[in-house]
Amino acid sequence: MFETLKQINQKPEVFAVDTAPRLWDDEHTSRQMLHFHLDDSVDISSRNSAFIEASVEWMTGHFNIRSGTRICDFGCGPGLYTTRFAERSRSVTGIDFSRRSIQYAKETAARKKLDVDYQQQNYLEYRSDRRFDLITMIMCDFCALSPLQRQTLLNVFHRHLDTGGSLLLDLFSEAAFNDREEGAAYEHRLLSGFWSAADYYGFVNTFKYDREKVVLDKYTIVEAFRTFEVYNWLQYFSFGVLKSEFEKAGFIITERFADIAGKPYDSESHEFAVVARKASEGDSVRG
Ligand SMILES: C[S@@+](CC[C@H](N)C(=O)[O-])C[C@H]1O[C@@H](n2cnc3c(N)ncnc32)[C@H](O)[C@@H]1O
């Protein structure tokens, strides 16, 4: 018991373990996630539909989305943005490794008679001859990736974004990091049965990595006959750190906002959004 508790409360090396597929594609948790995506009363795995509507309206004007605009949404989930994009453009791609979300997105497209190219796969491994005018990654998913995964993803973006195209993504800020606190708690059926259909005790340990500006919510789920862990990493960014990470990958940040609906940038806000384009020769920043 003491050794088990010691292990549960042990702080791992930053980004040492990747359990993202378990969180998003497990039979039980993916059902719970889909419920959160579609629940308009909580902004958990997706934002509410009023925000999404306003955001897509803003993007339509800002990026001049029209019938021929080639758009790709990385981590599209159940297609809440791709469906709306496809009502404006006939060239929309959505990538997500959650079988359940892609299934839901495909059913929505079929019902609405929309043509969307859905790819159920790991977006870090996306390879295609296609080039896009707009690439999006929404709901701060970039922050869940390790530095190496972000580098891989930025290379994927770079390969698939056309010259003159735009990349839009949102991120957690350093102000949000400062408001996080370390803690440890446990509860019978933590998060009301979110983690398993079986009876369980759920432990959640929150660790802060001050130097790296990373927070880990480590979940340990103990059932009668199995124990498993889920590691939710979040990287928080200052604008300067993000800018230099983007520049190393060959991108120039051209605009920043408080959110992906075009709200003016605010350094105190917990989230911010950036628009980037591929650096051209004259910019000479690719490291
Ligand atoms: C926070 S949700 C956001 C979903 C959507 N962007 C939205 O705002 O409604 C993150 C999504 O990214 C997907 N995802 C996470 N890591 C992924 C990966 N490596 N490859 C493909 N999809 C991934 C998850 O399955 C999930 O649907």
pLDDT in tens, 90-130: 999 999 999 999 999 999 999 999 999 999 999 999 999 99
In this structure, what token pair is assigned to residue 106?
A: 């495909």
The pLDDT-based confidence of 43 (bands split at 50, 70, 90) is confident
Nearest CA to ligand 1 atom 9: 46
- Residues 125-144: what's their mean pLDDT? 98
User: Which residue's structure tokens are 């993803």?
Assistant: 153
How does pLDDT run across 147-182, given as a tens digit for each residue? 999 999 999 999 999 999 999 999 999 999 999 999
Distance CA 123, CA 152 (A): 10
Mean pLDDT score of the chain, rounded to an integer? 95
- Residues 140-148: what's their mean pLDDT? 98
Ligand 1 atom closest to 140 (CA):
1
The reported pLDDT for the residue numbered 109 is 98
Handedness of CA 139, 145, 150, 155 (dihedral sign): negative
The CB of 136 under 6 Å from ligand 1? The reply is: no
In this structure, what token pair is assigned to residue 69?
A: 């605009």
Nearest CA to ligand 1 atom 22: 96
Measured CA to CA in angstroms, residue 144 lies from 147, 204, 256 at distances of 10, 17, 20
Helix axes 147-160, 239-248, angle to 10 degrees: 60
The reported pLDDT for the residue numbered 284 is 60
The CB of 30 under 6 Å from ligand 1? The reply is: no
Nearest CA to ligand 1 atom 15: 75
pLDDT greater than 60 at residue 285: no
- For residue 268, the one-letter residue type is E
In this structure, what token pair is assigned to residue 148?
A: 């190496």
Nearest CA to ligand 1 atom 1: 45
Nearest CA to ligand 1 atom 20: 122
- Residues 9-32: what's their mean pLDDT? 93
The reported pLDDT for the residue numbered 287 is 40
In this structure, what token pair is assigned to residue 164?
A: 């003159």
- Residues 63-87: what's their mean pLDDT? 98
Ligand 1 atom closest to 98 (CA):
25
Cα of 197 from ligand 1 centre, angstroms: 23
Distance CA 59, CA 217 (A): 32
Q: How many helices (H) and strands (E) does the chain have?
A: 9, 11
pLDDT greater than 90 at residue 195: yes
